[in-house]
C-alpha cells in the first residue's frame, strides 16, 4: 500500500489558489492514500467568526471537496484534507476523506487548540475509515496531545493514523513517534509551513511532515522551508503485530481495571 503527505504553504483566504496548487501537485501522484494539512484551503488564523463563516464550506457539496473528488477519481487517490466545515449553523475544524469512487466522510476535531475555541464547535466522535481491508484513524493536529485518541483508534482497528496538522509547538512530530510505538501503528503527519500574519497576530508553522512506522522510525519526512509531496510503500500487516518481545504484547498486556480514571472527566 502506498501512503503519503502533501506539505503546503497556504495563503490565508485564497481558497481557489490554495486548492488549485494542491490539485496540481496531487496530479503528479496516483494509486495512494495522501494526507494534506489542517485547514489547507483557508489558512489558519481567523480573526473573527464572520471571517470563518465567509470561508467555511459544506462537506460534501462545497468547492474544495468537489475539486478533491475530481483529482481522487482521475488519479485513483484516497485523500484526507483539513477544511473549515459549515454544517447547519455550526462551524467545525474538520478533516474530510474522499475516495476515488466519490465516497465522502468527515472527522470533526475534538480537541480545539487555543483561539480555535472562539469560533469552532468541538467534534463529538472519533473516526475510522476503511480503504479495502485497511483501517485508517483520523485526528487533527492538537489531538496528538491526548494519547487516549490514538489508543482508542488503535483498539478500534486503526493501522494507520492520519494527522492533518498546523503544528506550532516544537514537539508534535516527536510525540507522534511515541504514538506509533505505544500503539504499533503507522502515522502520516501532514503539516504546513510558513508564517501567517493577521493584524497583530502571527504564527509560524513547523513543517516537518513525516511518515512513521510502528517502531517509531521515520520512513520519510520534509523540512520546514518547502512544499513537499512524498509517498512511501508500506506493508500494512506490520501494524497487526503488537508484540514488543516474545513475552510482551501491547494490547494483551494492558490492565484496564487500573486505568478507569482515564474515562472520567474529574480526576479526584
Active-site positions read 38, 109, 141
C-alpha cell at 250: 501491547
Interface with ligand ACM by CB under 6 A: which residues? 38, 113, 141-142, 166-168
A 10 A CB-CB count for 101 gives 10
Query: Shortest distance, CB of residue 140 to ligand ACM, whole angstroms?
Result: 7
Cα–Cα dist 42/32, whole Å: 24
Query: Shortest distance, CB of residue 114 to ligand ACM, whole angstroms?
Result: 7
Cα–Cα dist 175/16, whole Å: 33
A 10 A CB-CB count for 31 gives 12
Choose between 72 and 141: whose C-beta lies nearer to ligand ACM: 141
> Kindly report the CA angle at 105 between 98 and 102, in degrees rounded to 5?
35
Query: Shortest distance, CB of residue 113 to ligand ACM, whole angstroms?
Result: 3
Choose between 77 and 161: whose C-beta lies nearer to ligand ACM: 161
> What residue has cell string 469552532?
120
Choose between 38 and 213: whose C-beta lies nearer to ligand ACM: 38
Query: Shortest distance, CB of residue 60 to ligand ACM, whole angstroms?
Result: 24
Would you call 208 helix, strand, or coil by DSSP?
coil
Choose between 166 and 210: whose C-beta lies nearer to ligand ACM: 166
Amino acid at each position: 500500500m502506498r501512503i503519503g503527505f502533501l506539505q503546503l504553504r497556504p495563503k490565508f483566504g485564497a481558497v481557489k489558489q490554495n486548492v488549485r496548487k494542491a490539485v496540481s501537485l496531487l496530479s503528479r501522484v496516483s494509486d495512494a492514500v495522501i494526507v494534506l494539512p489542517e485547514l489547507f484551503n483557508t489558512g489558519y488564523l481567523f480573526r473573527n467568526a464572520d471571517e470563518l463563516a465567509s470561508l467555511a464550506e459544506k462537506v460534501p457539496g462545497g468547492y474544495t471537496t468537489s475539486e478533491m473528488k475530481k483529482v481522487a477519481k482521475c488519479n485513483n487517490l484516497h485523500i484526507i484534507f483539513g477544511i473549515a466545515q459549515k454544517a447547519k449553523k455550526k462551524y467545525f475544524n474538520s478533516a474530510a476523506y474522499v475516495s476515488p469512487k466519490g465516497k465522502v466522510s468527515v472527522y470533526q476535531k475534538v480537541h480545539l487548540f487555543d483561539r480555535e475555541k472562539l469560533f469552532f464547535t468541538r467534534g463529538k466522535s472519533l473516526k475510522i475509515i476503511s480503504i479495502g481491508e485497511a483501517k485508517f484513524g483520523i485526528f487533527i493536529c492538537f489531538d496528538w496531545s491526548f494519547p487516549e485518541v490514538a489508543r482508542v483508534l488503535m483498539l478500534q482497528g486503526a493501522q494507520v493514523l492520519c494527522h492533518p496538522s498546523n503544528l506550532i509547538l516544537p514537539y508534535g512530530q516527536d510525540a507522534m513517534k511515541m504514538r506509533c510505538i505505544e500503539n504499533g501503528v503507522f502515522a502520516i503527519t501532514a503539516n504546513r509551513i510558513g508564517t501567517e500574519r493577521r493584524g497583530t497576530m502571527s504564527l509560524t508553522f513547523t513543517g516537518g511532515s513525516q511518515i512513521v512506522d510502528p517502531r517509531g522510525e521515520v520512513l520519510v519526512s520534509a523540512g520546514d522551508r518547502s512544499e513537499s509531496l512524498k509517498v512511501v510503500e508500506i506493508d500494512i500487516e506490520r501494524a497487526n503485530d503488537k508484540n514488543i518481545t516474545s513475552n510482551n504484547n501491547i494490547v494483551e498486556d494492558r490492565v484496564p481495571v487500573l486505568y478507569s480514571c482515564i474515562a472520567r472527566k474529574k480526576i479526584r
